[in-house]
Amino acid sequence: MAHQDDIFKKVVAHAKEYGFIFPSSEIYDGLAAVYDYGQLGVELKNNIKQYWWRAMVQMHENIVGLDSAIFMHPRIWKASGHVDAFNDPLIDNKDSKKRYRADVLIEDHIAKIEEKIEKEVEKGRKRFGEAFDEAQFRATNGRVLEHQQKINDIRDRFAALMNANDLEGLKQMILDLEIVCPVSGTRNWTDVRQFNLMFATKMGSVIDDSDTLYLRPETAQGIFVNFLNVQKTGRMKVPFGIAQIGKAFRNEIVARQFIFRMREFEQMEMQFFVRPGTELEWFRYWKEERLKWHLALGIPEECYRYHDHEKLAHYANAATDIEFRFPFGFKELEGIHSRTDFDLSRHSEFSGKKLQYFDSELNESYTPYVIETSIGVDRTFLAIFSHALKDETLEDGSTRTVLSLPARLAPYKAAVLPLVKKDGLPEKAREIIDVLKQDMMVQYDEKDAIGRRYRRQDAIGTPFCITVDSDTLSDNAVTVRHRDTMQQERVAIDQLPAYLKSKI
Ligand code: GAP
C-alpha cells in the first residue's frame, strides 16, 4: 500500500513540477478538488480529446458532434431524474466534525479486508517460493476465502440497502462493521442523509425559486434534448450517434485522489440511437469498440478490465465499466450503458414534444433506444500519465525519469537542440523548427549540457530529440534520439517531417 501511495505522490508532484497540473487558485491556498491544466497539461488534454473525437466522429460516418450549453432549462434535470435522485449518502462524525460518504466508508472498510487477502498471498508466496501458484492459493486458502466471503456479504448488504434507500439501515451497517472516523477514531456518527450533487445557481436578477439553474452534472442531457434538431437537420438515419465533449460539475463530498474525482471536470460522451430490440447487439459492439480505443494507445491489456454491472439502474438493460489499474487500484474509467428509451421518453413527457423517429424501412415511428459511452477526460489523463511515468536505472547505473506517453498524445512531438550555442547551430536549429512547427508542436532548447536537455525532454514525454551538431552544417543531417530506447540515428533534414510523422 505504501508503495502505491509513493507512486501516486510522485505522479502528483511530477504533474505540478513540469507544468501539467496545478491546484486551482493556489496563491489563495487552493480550492478543494479543482485543478488547472498548465502549459503541458493543456496540450496532453487537447490531444486526448482530439484522439477521442477522431475515433468517434471523424471515423464514423453515422456519428456527428455537438457543443451544447452548460446552462439548460431546469426541468431537464427533473426529467432526467437528477433533481430527485442524484444523491450521495452522507454521514458526519460528531467528534471530528468531518463529513464522509457512507458508501466510501464502506468501500474503505472493504479495501482493508482486501489488504488482508494480499498479505495472506504474500505470506504464501514466501512460504512456497518457486512452486507458488497464486490463482490456486486464492481459490483454496481458508483465510483468503473467509475474507472474500466477508467482502461479498458486505457488498450484498450494502447494495440491498442502497436499492431500498434505507438510510437507517446504512447507519446500522456502519455501526455493525465497527467503522471508526479516520480522524477522531470514534464511532460517534450522525444519521445518514442524502445530499444532492448538483451545483445550483441563479439566472437573471429576480431571486425566486423558478430561476434556479443547475450546472450540468453530465453532458449527456444536452444531447438528448437536441436529438430532433440534429436528426432532422443532419438527415440522420437510425442507427446514429451524437458525440459531445464538455465540462460537467458535481459537488463531490469526498473529492480526493487528485484529478480522479473532481468538482469541475470534463466528459466525452456519445449517445447512439438504435432501433428498439437491437440495443444489446449495439451494446456489445460499443463495449468492444471502446476497449479497442484504449488499447490502441499501446498501454498493456492487463491494465484494463470490464466490470459488468449486475445490479442495473431501473432504466438500463445492460451496463459495464471499463476499469483501469490506477496507482490506487482498479477503478472506473469509462461507462457503457444501454439506457433503453428512458431519456427520450422522459423528455417527451416533461417537454410535451414528441421525440420520435420515423423509420422509413419499417414504415413506423418509434422512440429510439440509446447506448451511451461516457468517459472522463481528466480520468483518462490520469490513467495515461500515471502509467507513463517511470524511474529507470540505466546500464551505467545512472537513473532517469521518463514519461513514456504515446507519441500521438505527447505535448511536444520533438525538441530541437543545438549542441552548442554558437557557430551557427542555433540558427540552423531555428530553421528546422520553422519547418516542423507547421505540422506539430516542437520545442527549442539550448540551455545546459545536452545530457541534461535530454533528461528534461524525457521527463515531459517528448518522443524525439533532434540534435544539431557541427556536421549538420555540411551534411544537412541531424541526430534523432528516441525517448524510450535512447537509440540515436542520423536523419537527413529534408526527410525529417515525413520521418517524424510516420513515427507519430
Ligand atoms: N452520462 C453518464 C455519466 O455521467 P458517470 O459514470 O457518472 O456517467 C461518466 O460518469 C464518466 O465521467 C466516469 O466514468 C468518469 O470517467 C467521469 N467522471 C464522473 N465523475 C467524475 C468526477 N467527479 N471527476 C472526474 N471524472 C468524473
222 lies in the same domain as 297: yes
439 lies in the same domain as 483: yes
At 471-485, the pLDDT tens digits run 999 999 999 999 999
Burial level of 280, CB count in 10 A (0-12/13-18/19+)? middle
Among protein residues, the one with the nearest Cα to ligand 1's atom 21 is 261
Ligand 1 pocket, mutate which of 21, 35, 48, 218 (most atoms under 8 A from CB): 218
User: pLDDT at residue 1 above 50?
Assistant: no
At 294-303, the pLDDT tens digits run 999 999 999 9
Among protein residues, the one with the nearest Cα to ligand 1's atom 19 is 376
Residue 153 counted as domain residue: no
Instruction: Say which residues have a Cβ less than 8 Å from residue 163's Cβ, sequence separation at least 6.
Output: 311
Report the separation in Å between the CA atom of 375 and the middle of ligand 1, taken as the mean of its atom positions: 6
Among protein residues, the one with the nearest Cα to ligand 1's atom 22 is 261
Residue 315 counted as domain residue: yes
The stretch 304-332 carries a mean pLDDT of 92
356 lies in the same domain as 469: no
| Model pTM score | 0.89
Give me the domain span that covers residue 499: 412-503
Query: Ligand 1 atom closest to Cα of 220?
Result: 1
At 428-440, the pLDDT tens digits run 999 999 999 999 9
246 lies in the same domain as 342: yes
Residue 162 counted as domain residue: no
DSSP annotation of 54: I
**With b meaning 16 or more CB within 10 Å and e meaning fewer, what string describes 426-456?**
bebbeebbeebeeeebbbebbeeebeebbbb
| Domain of residue 7, CATH code | 3.30.930.10
The stretch 364-382 carries a mean pLDDT of 98
Query: Ligand 1 atom closest to Cα of 217?
Result: 4
Q: How far apart are CA 238 and CA 64, in angstroms?
A: 13
Q: Rounded mean pLDDT of the chain?
A: 94
User: pLDDT at residue 349 above 80?
Assistant: yes
Residue 99 counted as domain residue: no
Domain boundary among 358, 393, 428: 393
Domain boundary among 335, 364, 393: 393
495 lies in the same domain as 418: yes
| Domain of residue 498, CATH code | 3.40.50.800
Q: In the structure, what pLDDT confidence band is assigned to residue 209 with cuts at 50, 70 and 90? A: low
DSSP-derived pairing of the beta strands 464-468 and 399-403 = unpaired
Residue 8 counted as domain residue: yes
334 lies in the same domain as 276: yes
Report the separation in Å between the CA atom of 248 and the middle of ligand 1, taken as the mean of its atom positions: 9
DSSP string, 362-389: TTEEEPPEEEEEEEEHHHHHHHHHHHHE
